[in-house]
Amino acid sequence: MIVVVAPGQGSQTPGFLAPWLEDAAVRDRVGAWSEAIGVDLVSHGTESDADTIKDTALAQPLIVAAGLVTADALLADGRRALVGGVAGHSVGEFTAAGIAGILEPSDAVALVAERGRAMADAAALEPTSMAAVLGGDADEVAAALTTHGLVPANHNGGGQTVVAGAADAIAALVADPPAKARVIPLAVAGAFHTRYMAPAVERVAPVAAAATVQDPTLPIWTNADGSLVDDGRRFVDLMVKQIANPVHWDAVMESFSGAGVTGIIELAPAGALVGLAKRGLRGTPTVAIKTPDDLPAAIDLLQSAGQEAAATA
């Protein structure tokens, strides 16, 4: 069984949309989304520098737009039937919801644009940040977080935890990491998935409640606890709550393992999630789709799984 996964914030890089927008139809579609949300995704996805697209209000719709156009190319010509399920990391859940039919793609982009604006405004209330902690003794890491007043925000598995809190506390942890641990500051603008984002939840909740929602047509796992969700409205509610609550990607990967996942394809802007899978799901084949040039390898992985399923049926 092959699953398709969508990355979260911090995966964006300057110009990452450019190769996808060489297709005129894709460019027109992204242009229409841009007009609808009042953000020039085409310009920011091709020309803006890293500091500009670090802005939460820009990064989130850019990432979801990229994931959706990548999924369209990957799953064309009947290949959707070969997918065993979808999941997204943090903001990538909006991409996953669009792929699974919970939200129309245009609604997913519109809703995530509001999420991005709300989270940017919440982050502006006080200086906060995030960092990835790699390795180290679990007890020593926990003690260091307590010392600095930080909390886990993303339980990523594969020996990686993303922590969040006051910007000066993150800087102190980077300067004095726990023994045998690496601490890497992340290119994000606030302490996402923590209490600092409570104002964003209050803003996004009524917008999400008014959205048109359908039940998923593909299996979809939630970041809340790694479980499958078959109720579209519940999935959207969980996405909203997730803004101020930790992401449990480690639980999602455990569910992948339990479900017998045999391959993982990460949508653009890819790289982070296949990296986690290589550590947390060792031996599982992965493909990271960064540009259209990566599509043939991803399609081969999908089709090989379909052929194996047919052979054992």
| Secondary-structure breakdown of the chain: helix, strand, coil percentages, each rounded to the nearest 5 | 50, 15, 30
Please state, in angstroms and rounded to a whole number, the distance separating the CA atoms of residues 62 and 42: 9
90, 148, 155, 248: the active-site residue = 90
Angle (deg, nearest 10), helices 198-209 and 232-242: 160
Q: Which H or E run includes 240? A: helix 232-242
Residue 193 among the catalytic residues:
yes
Taken as a whole, the chain contains a residue count of: 313
CA distance 25 to 269: 19
Query: Which residues have a Cβ under 8 Å from the Cβ of 9 and sit 6 or more positions away?
Result: 56, 59, 60, 63, 90, 91, 188, 192
| Cα Rg of the chain, angstroms | 19
Give the CA angle between residues 289, 270, 30 to the nearest 5°. Answer: 80
CA distance 106 to 112: 10
How many CA atoms, within 13 angstroms, populate the side-chain half-sphere of residue 172? 14
Number of other CB atoms surrounding residue 311 within 10 Å: 7
β-strands 151-157, 263-266 pairing: unpaired
Among 44, 155, 193, 248, the one annotated catalytic: 193
106 assigned to active site: no
Annotated catalytic residues are 90, 193
